[in-house]
Structure 1
Amino acid sequence: MLNARIKLRHLMAFLEVAKRRSFARAAEALAITQPGISKAIRELEEILQTPLFERTSQGVSLTQAGLTLLRHAGPAMRALDEGVSAIGDAHHGGRWLRIGALSTVESRLLPVAIQRWHSASAAGQHDTSVSVVTGASAYLLSRLRLGELDMVVGRMTEAREIGDLYFEHLYYEPLVIVARSGHPLAQVTPVAASQLIAYPWAVPPPQTTLRQQVDSFCVRHAITLPPLLLETLSLPVSYRYTLESDALWIAPREAVIEELERGLLKELALPFEAQGGSVGICTNVSMTKSLTRDAFCETLRQVAAERIIPRS
């Protein structure tokens, strides 16, 4: 039974600090003073008789006790929020499926799955809309752990943040090095790694799982990153930058397959990865079981089997 001394304001303060890793930013998000949020956390720690946060050079981080509370409090607050929303939406049946999407699935897997999902809705099989949030794996997985997302889809097996979340593999997706079709290296076979650093690169930002693979590639080939970089997870920005310059783009194959087939981009004759990373679905097993979430996961499995795997 929940300790009667624990109030909703304690849990809201805890979850906001856990998400933002900062008392100041959490206080701003909740529109209360920083002493007020500090007091709420201190009271909660006194009730639980254990520290929930520890200070670091980057802000605050969760203790083991804090991680345990987060694993349960996040989904519980999400369930409460859904209950309140369900009452407000009962007159028109409005429901939402919240999905975190990594760049590896933005171009093909997820759009096709959502189109199929909406077709099923039009046929009267469900009445659930879809909300998609994009970003780095660490950000999306933290929101999943808080219960703010129903699932995260993409390549993330290398992500340290998965922890006690559940990951289901769908298929392997490699990173490739591409350039515009008229690029000086487009017709060179084979391409030496040392030739790449003469050109700007479009790469994922630091602290992402895809950037870890870029760094590993440089180490394997004894090269350093070129002096000019575009760091972004935006596929449109990377595409236009690559198409209109001599930049090289290290991208998920799924993100550029159509441009490669149309001849707008060219994959360089230098393999970036032998097999690629595991793309799949990450869910929070501590969240209440959802038939809607399970149904969309099955849609993702079908699309992965029918459209992605044959092309890889």
Structure 2
Amino acid sequence: MLSSRIKLRHLQAFLEVARQRSFARAAECLAISQPGVSKTIRELEEILGAELFERGTQGVALTQAGLTFLRHAGPAIRALEEGVSAVGDAHQGARWLRVGALSTVESRLLPHAIRRWQAAQSSESVGVDVVTGRSAFLLSQLRLGELDLVVGRMTEAREIRDLTFEHLYYEPLVLVVRVGHPLAGVASLAPGRLVEFPWVLPPPQTTLRQQVDSFFVRHGLELPGRLLETLSLPVSAGYTRDSEAIWVAPREAVIEELEAGRLVELSLPLEGQGGSVGLCINASMQPSLALEAFCEALRETASER
């Protein structure tokens, strides 16, 4: 049974400290004093009978009890916010989803699924707030209840461990270059030739970069000195079209460039089957009808690939 001693201010303070990893920054965001935040967290810890944060010189970190509580506190606040919003928007029938998107689905799957979902809604007020970024960030936002779901290739991410993942399809990483590149059209491409050119890569600490690093280790190679590290598809495409660079990208992200003949795929595969692309939800959050409908739109869109 939920203790009547736990108030909304306790949950808000806990979530902000967990988000900021700092009592001082949390106090600033909440517009209250730092002692006030510390006092509120101490009260919550006394109510729960567990220490939620480890204090240190570099800030604070969640304890195991804190991580457990976080999985439920974030969705609880999110559900409350949705309830307030639903009451206010009921007369308009407004429906909004907050979706985290990885680069593996930005070009085709997600835009097509959004159009499918909106077309099937009876209400005129249907919107999707799409947040992009690294899988670690998006999954942490999902755990906090800040996102309704995350879509993309993320099964290698450590942060997915206590979330629910549903596989949709496999998507390989490919190596692409501009038309007329010295390696374009080479049938039996030796891996050693790749380091002669600049590379466009996902940033370190991303699930896609892990596959690239594994490729270099397997072939006994070192990354070249000239690198562009970014998750931006427009920046990557523009740089690759106008340079000698080799771009590592999910095939879906570059399929339009390949079909239009602006880029070509190298003959050397970076990986075999590819990674699992799917949708990830926080099972501790009660799914709305809008979210269930959107997940079905993602499944139908993926099945048509």
TM-score by length of 2: 0.95
Q: Which moved more, 1:2-11 or 1:271-280?
A: 2-11
* Percent identity of equivalent pairs: 71
The unaligned stretches of length 5 or more in structure 2 are none
Structure 2 CA distance, aligned partners of 1:161 and 1:239? Answer: 29
Residue number among 247, 253, 261 corresponding to 1:249 in the alignment: 247
For residues 239-271 of structure 1, the C-alpha deviation after alignment (integer angstroms, 9 at most, x for no partner) is 111111111110000000111112111111110
Q: 1:191 to 1:25 in 2, by over 3 A?
A: farther
Report the count of equivalent residues.
305
Local SS of the residue matching 1:16: helix
The reply to whether residue 287 of structure 1 matches residue 247 of structure 2 is no
The unaligned stretches of length 5 or more in structure 1 are none
Shift of 1:30: 2.1
- The corresponding residue for 1:43 is 43
1:70 aligned partner, one-letter code: L
- The corresponding residue for 2:144 is 146
- The corresponding residue for 1:183 is 181
Local SS of the residue matching 2:243: coil
Map of 1:96-111 to 2, 5 A cutoff?
A: 96-111=96-111
Structure 2 CA distance, aligned partners of 1:147 and 1:173? Answer: 27
Structure 1 CA distance, aligned partners of 2:2 and 2:226? Answer: 55
The reply to whether residue 92 of structure 1 matches residue 88 of structure 2 is no
Structure 2 CA distance, aligned partners of 1:5 and 1:220? Answer: 57
The reply to whether residue 133 of structure 1 matches residue 95 of structure 2 is no
Q: 1:226 to 1:25 in 2, by over 3 A?
A: farther
- The corresponding residue for 1:3 is 3
Map of 1:56-71 to 2, 5 A cutoff?
A: 59-71=59-71
Q: Which moved more, 1:53-62 or 1:6-15?
A: 53-62
Structure 1 CA distance, aligned partners of 2:90 and 2:236? Answer: 42
Structure 2 CA distance, aligned partners of 1:70 and 1:269? Answer: 46
Local SS of the residue matching 2:147: coil
The reply to whether residue 267 of structure 1 matches residue 255 of structure 2 is no
The answer on whether the counterparts of 1:197 and 1:225 sit within 8 Å (CA) in structure 2 is yes
The reply to whether residue 161 of structure 1 matches residue 154 of structure 2 is no
The answer on whether the counterparts of 1:177 and 1:267 sit within 8 Å (CA) in structure 2 is yes
- The corresponding residue for 1:229 is 227
Local SS of the residue matching 2:196: coil
Residue number among 204, 207, 210 corresponding to 1:209 in the alignment: 207
2:290 aligned partner, one-letter code: T
The answer on whether the counterparts of 2:92 and 2:125 sit within 8 Å (CA) in structure 1 is no
Structure 2 CA distance, aligned partners of 1:22 and 1:192? Answer: 50
Q: Which moved more, 1:181-190 or 1:240-249?
A: 181-190
Structure 2 CA distance, aligned partners of 1:231 and 1:80? Answer: 39
The answer on whether the counterparts of 1:242 and 1:249 sit within 8 Å (CA) in structure 2 is yes
Shift of 1:125: 6.8
Local SS of the residue matching 2:99: strand
The answer on whether the counterparts of 2:94 and 2:123 sit within 8 Å (CA) in structure 1 is no
For residues 124-175 of structure 1, the C-alpha deviation after alignment (integer angstroms, 9 at most, x for no partner) is 2785321111111111111111111111100011111011211000000010
The answer on whether the counterparts of 2:117 and 2:293 sit within 8 Å (CA) in structure 1 is no
For residues 30-84 of structure 1, the C-alpha deviation after alignment (integer angstroms, 9 at most, x for no partner) is 2333333233222211222211122468643321111111111111100111111
- The corresponding residue for 2:77 is 77
The answer on whether the counterparts of 1:173 and 1:278 sit within 8 Å (CA) in structure 2 is yes
Structure 1 CA distance, aligned partners of 2:152 and 2:130? Answer: 12
Q: 1:36 to 1:244 in 2, by over 3 A?
A: farther
TM-score by length of 1: 0.93
Structure 1 CA distance, aligned partners of 2:184 and 2:27? Answer: 52
The answer on whether the counterparts of 2:135 and 2:206 sit within 8 Å (CA) in structure 1 is yes
Q: 1:59 to 1:224 in 2, by over 3 A?
A: farther
RMSD: 1.7
Q: 1:273 to 1:164 in 2, by over 3 A?
A: same
Structure 1 CA distance, aligned partners of 2:196 and 2:64? Answer: 46
Q: 1:225 to 1:78 in 2, by over 3 A?
A: same
